[in-house]
Amino acid sequence: VTGKIPVKAINEMWFLENLNKGEKKFFNIVKRSYDIILALLIFIITCVFWPIIALLIKTASKGPVFITMKRVGKNNKEFKMFKFRSMKEENNDRSMTVKNDSRITKFGSFLRKTRIDEIPQVLNILKGDMSFVGPRPERPELIRNLEKQISFYKERTLIKPGATGWDQISGEYHSPSHEDTLKKLQYDLFYIKNRSIYLDLSIMLKTISTVLSRKGI
């Protein structure tokens, strides 16, 4: 089992078969239920620390506590994804970060390494923009560009994007190259076909293990 589905192995009928609403109705109800319960739990447990995090962000550099980033959600609907700010405001141009990026503050580096900067995404999950598990939410301009280059790339937006996902825990490093983007899509297609409560639980447990071991996701 590779955990990937080659793009050349699918067609339009594949999506009709694997996105059958009747077949996945129970799963979708359960998934939305545990998304809400887990998001509320995380918010309740962590909200007491948000003022402290906010103070440390403000101390590290001037600017807002939160940033919003345009992302594409289910059915190509755009939404604003929330994160704690980890960069200097004057250099926060939303371009891709690189290793040892000078725009990232010292406290911001800690937030990123521990994934604390992503905790505000529970608000997106409560709103229904995202799920805990799903394809990585991408920028609108990136999706518009890639859907012209890669067959069926747009179809990954037929389900909600996730805070973590099958691709993110694959253990492979993916650059922004065409070849690696195609690999990521193959992982997303595998998740779309095989999504289940068991697979979601496995992905979430692997994500927790990865975060605790300080490995990248």
Distance CA 84, CA 64 (A): 9
Q: What is the mean pLDDT of the chain?
A: 86
What average pLDDT does this structure show over 19-41? 87
pLDDT: which is higher, 26 or 35: 35
Q: Which of 30-34, 41-45, 97-101 has the lowest mean pLDDT?
A: 97-101
Element spanning 163, H or E? strand 162-164
- 22: confidence class by pLDDT, cuts 50, 70, 90: low
Helix (H) or strand (E) holding 58: helix 50-60
Distance between CA atoms of residues 95 and 111, nearest Å: 18
Q: CB of 156 within 8 A of CB of 188?
A: yes
Higher confidence at residue 143 or residue 97?
143
| pLDDT at residue 182 tops 60 | yes
pLDDT of residue 14: 72
Q: Please check the confidence at residue 50 and state whether its pLDDT lies above 90.
A: yes
Q: How many CB atoms lie within 10 A of CB 124?
A: 24
- β-partners of residue 131 are 162
pLDDT confidence tier of residue 1, bands split at 50, 70 and 90: very low
Mean pLDDT within 161-187: 81
Both tokens assigned to 113: 């390494």
